Structure 1
Amino acid sequence: MGNRQINWPEESGVELAHSSGIRGSGVLVGVLDTGIDADHQEFCDQTVNYRYVPLSSFGGRDVRGFDTEGHGTHVCGIIAGKDIGIAPEAKLYVASIIESETYETTLRRIISGLDWFLEKLSELENSEQTAVLNMSLGFPSTLIHSSRYRPYLDRMRNVLLNCVEKRDVLPIVAIGNDGKGEYCYPGAFKECFSVGAVDLQGKIANFSGSGISEGTIKPDIVGYGVDIHSSLERKCEGQSIYEKMSGTSMATPYVTGIAALYLCDKPQLKAKELKAKLIETAFPLSTQPPERVGVGLARFVPQLTDRANCPKE
């Protein structure tokens, strides 16, 4: 399947936002994933801030974006692809932190990726802006009881807390694909806005995780995450490839894209206010189990205010 604009259901509000000129202009979006193919036709016309975080604990590479697997390119396409993105004018900051490896090395790399994103937000031009962070990743809840992995999870949580409290970042995180009663970290942390998956008809996906963590029902919200068409990779000849994928990994960038539309419409929103806006405007899914869909489906609802508010590049 070639490139085409995704026809999101009317309930999403995406088409309405785009027709009103709300396309994510100037909004900062961090993505921690397998990377991004910056030369895919969805991204080749923009500058993607990219950091490759190595398996070792030494350094990192700020280079032209590449993807070790394709997952991150798919996620980024949903958020900000030129033709298929929910917020196609958003500014991407992508850290490649996932490969085939151990829990320990991945956790270390995530922490390094978070530190890099915070550094980028500290730069003068970005220092006052609210940002969104997409993490379509997760670790089994059993790791929280492990003496080996718990210190890494705690450290990651502390960095995420700094993102929220000191840099006005809203972390939007997948709850996991292990089904009812199972969830993953960091999505299960209270400070993370966790995302489950529904299909395009609003029915909960069987794989979508859920549960009670620290006295809080998770997920907080849901997004479309079944058979989602997005960018993947390129052939050797350079032809861009697209594919449909399913998972809370796809639902999470959907919610991130909606959040970017709200920040474009009202750039003065703080992270807590942005979270409240997503909760307040969610589309109720009254026929679905409430413990599995949170407040409902994330959607963009137009505000009765001036539309020309988006920050410019």
Structure 2
Amino acid sequence: MSAKQALLITSIFLLSLCLEGVAAQRSSKIIRAKRNVVLKGFYFVSVVESEDISSVIKELTDKERNGSFPPGFKMEIHGNASEVAHGFFARFSEVALNEITKNDKVESIFEDHIMKGGSALPSPGEEATNVTTSAAANSSTPFTRIVTTWGLDRLDQDSIRYDHHYTTPCGLTGKGVDVYVLDSGIFYEHKEFQGRASSPGCDPIDQIFNTSKNGADFTGHGTHVAGTVGGKKFGVAPGVNLFSVRVLDTQNSGSANSLVLGAECVVKSVERRKRPSIVNLSIYGDKNLLVKRALDTLMRKGITVIGIAGNSKTKPKNSCKVGPGSIQGIITASASTKSDEPLMYSNAGTCVDLYAPGAEILSASTNCKNCRSTRQGSSMAAPHVTGAVALLLEKCPTMKPWRVKYILRSQMTKENKLNFSRMPRIYQSMTPNLLLHTSSLQCDLEC
């Protein structure tokens, strides 16, 4: 072999290594979802922080329009997220995905995956009965209602001796507090909401699928959750403002992308309204770095986030393996039963912050303007906690999320009330035995 041949072979070898390195670098930009939950073709493109999102989108759309990309390049832009994650949502063909990875202004590409609402199917809808109340909501005396749901009844009882009354502490009702329900929507016309439920002006599912439902509920999941947060008869905090941010579709299924779009919607609404705000996330799925970034941003901006431990088919699993409730800073609820036991398929472990009623919970239904239904799961526990936080934020409207979490766990719970004997032994010692108890809140609390 001549020296020239040897040099040529070496050059070809080094070039192939270089090309392999470039290909590996491009593929490493793509953060894949698990195969069994992936939403094929849907992505979030994270743009380099120093670059303008709109300019990057314009560059790509101009090139597509001019035919600068190879045949098979197909791209649909579904919106951007400048507040909670620096990038945009899109649907790509495989050719488009490959081309986007070549763009130096693109930092990473997140493959979208499924998120689910966490509750069992409802019972058939039925007409709601009337309840009576006593004491003015703005007085310093407790606000008491006769209630038909054990979940509310349990929040002000020291034991499971139910008296069919629910009393909020210090006359609080959550008035002046905004709650964003990231869920399947809300049935705005339901009498439970007394005109306090509305859209914040955005609907992530509408954005992704180019529909115009404006936060309306087609599964009942979000309406049930909202009723437990702030319904007139069924709500922990019957004075809150409720906002529907629809991140679950008509099959009660959403995605990481819809959740991030929902977070973006919340930030913009909170900045406009400037009120103490809470996000209720009765949703769970695989962990996702993009979702974590978005929810971390919410909490940094002073918005308290309530999540769920998630549910399993027959027995609890480790709540720390489920997102987004396992994200540090989120207040994570698991479900308890009327007999003060954990709901057996509601997840457990160290990522649970507290338990709240979540079995056979009665709340608003989408069947009619005065209908109710029963659901269960950790999805039903979270809104009890959200309502309790709304009471606290009415009293202390500038309280930061970390402080809310501390006060909630230290002053608005009862310890060792739950019977863990049927819980798998591995979780008994690592799961906090704290049960939500709103009446423990001290009226002289220093904010």
TM-score in terms of structure 2 length: 0.58
**What is the aligned length?**
282
Is 1:252 the counterpart of 2:349 in the alignment?
Answer: no
Matching residue of 1:288: 419
Cα 1:244–1:192 shift into 2, 3 Å:
same
Which residue of the partner structure matches residue 36 of structure 2? none
Residue equivalent to 1:172: 306
1:68-87 map, 5 Å: 68-87=218-237
**Amino acid corresponding to residue 120 of structure 1 in structure 2:** S
Change (3 A) 1:55 1:303: same
1:110 paired with 2:259, answer yes
Question: Residues 219 and 251 of structure 2 are in contact (CA less than 8 Å); yes or no, is this contact kept in structure 1?
Answer: no
**Structure 1 CA distance for aligned equivalents of residues 182 and 203 of structure 2:** 10
Correspondence list, 1:1-313, <5 A: 1=126, 2-3=128-129, 4=131, 5=147, 6-7=149-150, 8-12=152-156, 15-17=166-168, 20-50=170-200, 51-54=202-205, 57=208, 63=214, 65-99=215-249, 106-123=255-272, 125-126=273-274, 129-139=275-285, 143-144=286-287, 153-165=288-300, 167-178=301-312, 179-183=315-319, 184-211=322-349, 217-235=350-368, 239-281=369-411, 282-289=413-420, 290-291=428-429, 293-300=431-438, 301-305=440-444
Q: Which amino acid aligns with 1:135?
A: L
Amino acid at match of 1:181: K
Structure 1 112/10 Cα, relative in aligned 2: closer, same or farther at 3 Å? closer
Change (3 A) 1:60 1:191: farther
Give the alignment's TM-score, normalised by structure 1.
Answer: 0.81
**CA drift at 1:87:** 0.5
Structure 1 residue runs of 4 or more that deviate by more than 6 Å after TM superposition? none
Range moving further from structure 2, 222-231 or 187-196:
187-196
Give, in angstroms, the shift of residue 133 of structure 1: 1.0
Displacement of 1:83 in angstroms is 2.0
Q: Could you tell me which runs of 5 or more consecutive residues in structure 2 were left unpaired when the two chains were aligned.
A: 1-125, 132-146, 158-164, 421-427
Q: Tell me, yes or no, if the aligned pair for 2:228 and 2:235 is still in contact at 8 Å.
A: yes
Contact 1:130–1:270 (8 Å) recurs in 2: no
5+ long unaligned stretches in structure 1 = 145-152, 212-216
Structure 1 residues 265 and 102, CA, compared in 2 at 3 Å: closer, same or farther?
Answer: closer
Q: C-alpha separation between the residues in 2 aligned to 1:241 and 1:79?
A: 17
SS of equivalent residue, structure 1 residue 204: coil
Q: 1:108 to 1:21 in 2, by over 3 A?
A: same
**What is the CA distance between 1:61 and its match in structure 2?**
5.4
- Give me the CA root mean square deviation: 2.7
CA contact (8 A) 1:54 1:60 kept: yes
Alignment match, 2:4: none
| Rounded Cα–Cα distance in structure 1 between residues aligned with 2:341 and 2:378 | 13
Q: Equivalents in 1 of 2:192, 2:252: separation in Å?
A: 31
Name the larger-Rg structure.
Answer: 2
